[in-house]
Amino acid sequence: MGSQRTVGFAQFEPRIGEVMYNLAQVRRLAMQAPQADLLIFPELATSGYELIDKDEVRAVAEPARGGPTFETLHDLAIANKSSYVIGYPELDGDALFNSCMLVNPDGSSANYRKIHLFSREKELFSPGNLPPSVQKTAAGLVGMMICFDWIFPETARLLALQGAQIIAHPSNLVLQWCQRAMFARSVENRIFTITANRIGSEERVGRRLTFTGASQVTSPTGETLVQAPEAAELVGTAVIDPDDADRKWVTELNHLFEDRHPEYYTGLV
């Protein structure tokens, strides 16, 4: 038997370099949906996106536990009995990662480091060095991936094969395809996906990036359950039954995972 959970995204415009301002927005937006069991914030939501060099990243980076972002989400998670996922620049020793953290109401947390870095991110961050994994949350079993990971379907597949019911997908999208592609990530894995994108523009290194908004929650059968506009702040939520993602039969005779033929997939690795 399933049970209903409220899940969603908080789409907003972070300010570059202003961690305390951005965390104040995170608190304000989280309090607009205190009933959410799971709320996802964008990629690099605490720092803004277009950081110029590693010194700038280092100035706004923090560890996966114990920094201002963790403390903010920890307080919110306890107050609202919610799980939260947020993208932030992570400092681990000397290494910088484009990461997201999950914080649960019981105080447990998990961290994911973006594996597939996009464009100039390769000059600022190390690629993620940990395999994607699935975590318990207040809304069911959640796997995390970040933004450009979407164009490598292996990421979502790996999470689905590990039992993820929901993919949390903090993003700063600038290309035009992701929101439509997440329809496929949902259907091909029979899984809920929550893409939390940002809005606004940044122009700091001789290029103008405009982020595409349109954050969305997509169901295992491809319905868009809620979608934000392209250029306005919004906390969007949907009521789902996470157990719907455990039904992997596509037809009476086709099981999404059992019908795979990995013996022919060796060329993938």
Catalytic annotation on 252? no
Query: Is 118 among the residues that bind ligand ACM (CB under 6 A)?
Result: yes
Query: 86: closest CA among 97, 70, 66?
Result: 70
Residue 173 is a binding residue for ligand ACM (CB under 6 A):
yes
- 197 is a contact residue toward ligand ACM (CB under 6 A): no
Both tokens of 256, joined, read 């999404």
3-state secondary structure 70-130: HHHHHHHHHHHCCEEEEEEEEEECCEEEEEEEEECCCCCEEEEECCCCCCCHHHHCECCCC
Buried (b) or exposed (e) across 78-106, using 16+ Cβ within 10 A? Answer: eebebbbbbbbbbbeeeebbbbbbbbbbe
Residue 100 known to be catalytic: no
Choosing from 62, 121, 147, 178, the catalytic residue is: 147
Q: Which is nearer to ligand ACM, 137 or 155 (CB)?
A: 155
Q: How far is the CB of 121 from ligand ACM (least distance, A)?
A: 7
Q: Does 9 bind ligand ACM (CB under 6 A)?
A: no
**Annotated catalytic residue within 56, 90, 100, 114:** 114
| Nearest residue to 184 (alpha-carbon basis) of 211, 219, 158 | 219
Q: Which of 61, 101, 160, 174 binds ligand ACM (CB under 6 A)?
A: 174
Tell me how far, at minimum, the Cβ of 90 lies from ligand ACM, in Å: 15
Pairing assessment for the beta strands 83-92 and 38-40 based on DSSP bridges: parallel
Task: Give the per-residue contact string, 35-54, with ligand ACM (x = CB under 6 A; - = no).
Answer: --------x-----------
As measured in angstroms, the least distance from the Cβ of 89 to ligand ACM is: 13
Closer residue to ligand ACM in complex, CB, 192/211: 211
Name the residue among 181, 228, 208 with its Cα closest to residue 49. Answer: 208
Told to judge if 54 belongs to the known catalytic residues of this protein, a careful annotator would answer no
Q: Quote the tokens at residue 45.
A: 């939501």
Element (H, E) at 39: strand 38-40
- In whole angstroms, the minimum distance from the beta carbon of 118 to ligand ACM comes to 3
3-state secondary structure of 267: helix
CB under 6 A: which stretch of 23-31, 172-180, 225-233, 251-259 binds ligand ACM? 172-180
Closest CB to ligand ACM among residues 138, 173: 173
211 touches ligand ACM by CB under 6 A: no
Query: Which residues make up the interface to ligand ACM (CB under 6 A)?
Result: 43, 118, 147-148, 172-174
Known catalytic residues? 43, 114, 147
